[in-house]
């Protein structure tokens, strides 16, 4: 009986005490939680330091995407550079896993900390290339894929800083 009464009293005291505490709620549109350093949300396509598109339309992101929300059509620019003719991400399906970013050999596709991109219509969640492509370089400011690739687009073949020249297969005898 006394256990019951103290139990009751403690319970009532607890709720009364909590009533005077500041609520823990974060009132979202006015207050926002600080994002973590590596928060990853909306996906963008970045450019290299020279302002050219980084994406070479290799389809790796599209292949690795677990929900198949990335699609594109590759094309050739004529000077050896490849680019996506169109590039489409359906954010209605995207689970923001970041595997496309990991798969990308040219650091073109990147996840940004912008998480407020809800839409009223499902079709508005489909982002085309012009919605995805940004002017900046994103995370890796110095990186230009063609300066390491060695196919002679930026510099002639074999003249990139970390490259040897082409091997003459006739003289390269054991």
Task: Outline where DSSP puts E strands in 12-62.
Answer: 43-45
For the chain, the distance separating the N- and C-terminal CA atoms, rounded to the nearest angstrom, is 96
d(CA 169, CA 17): 83
CB of 34 to another protein, least distance (A): 20
Q: How many CB atoms lie within 10 A of CB 137?
A: 19
CB of 85 to another protein, least distance (A): 46
Nearer to another protein among residue 6 and residue 14 (C-beta): 14
11 binds another protein (CB under 8 A): yes
16 binds another protein (CB under 8 A): yes
Among 2, 3, 5, 21, binds another protein (CB under 8 A): 21
Using a 10 angstrom Cβ sphere, with 0-12 exposed, 13-18 middle and 19 or more buried, the burial of residue 163 is middle
Nearer to another protein among residue 28 and residue 120 (C-beta): 28
Beta carbons of 49 and 141 less than 8 angstroms apart: yes
CB of 8 to another protein, least distance (A): 8
- Map the footprint of another protein across residues 26-55, applying CB under 8 A: 27
Instruction: Give which of 63, 36, 54 is closest to 149, Cα–Cα.
Output: 54
CB of 16 to another protein, least distance (A): 7
Nearer to another protein among residue 16 and residue 173 (C-beta): 16
Instruction: Characterise 88 by phi-psi region: left (phi > 0), alpha (psi -120 to 50), beta (else).
Output: beta
15 binds another protein (CB under 8 A): yes
d(CA 140, CA 143): 6
CB of 6 to another protein, least distance (A): 14
6 binds another protein (CB under 8 A): no
Binding site for another protein (CB under 8 A): 8, 11-12, 14-16, 18-19, 21-25, 27
């Amino acid at each position: 009986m006394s256990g019951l009464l103290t139990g009751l009293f403690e319970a009532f005291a607890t709720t009364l005490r909590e009533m005077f505490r500041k609520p823990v709620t974060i009132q979202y549109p006015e207050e926002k939680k600080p994002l973590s350093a590596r928060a990853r949300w909306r996906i963008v396509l970045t450019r290299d330091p020279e302002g050219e598109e980084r994406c070479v339309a290799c389809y790796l992101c599209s292949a690795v995407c677990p929900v198949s929300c990335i699609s594109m059509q590759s094309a050739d620019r004529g000077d050896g550079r490849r680019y996506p003719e169109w590039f489409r991400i359906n954010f209605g399906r995207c689970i923001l896993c970041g595997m496309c970013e990991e798969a990308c050999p040219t650091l073109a596709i990147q996840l940004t900390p912008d998480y407020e991109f809800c839409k009223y219509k499902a079709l508005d969640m489909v982002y085309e290339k012009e919605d995805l492509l940004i002017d900046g370089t994103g995370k890796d400011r110095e990186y230009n894929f063609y300066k390491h690739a060695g196919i002679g687009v930026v510099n002639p073949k074999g003249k990139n800083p970390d490259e040897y020249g082409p091997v003459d297969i006739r003289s390269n005898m054991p």
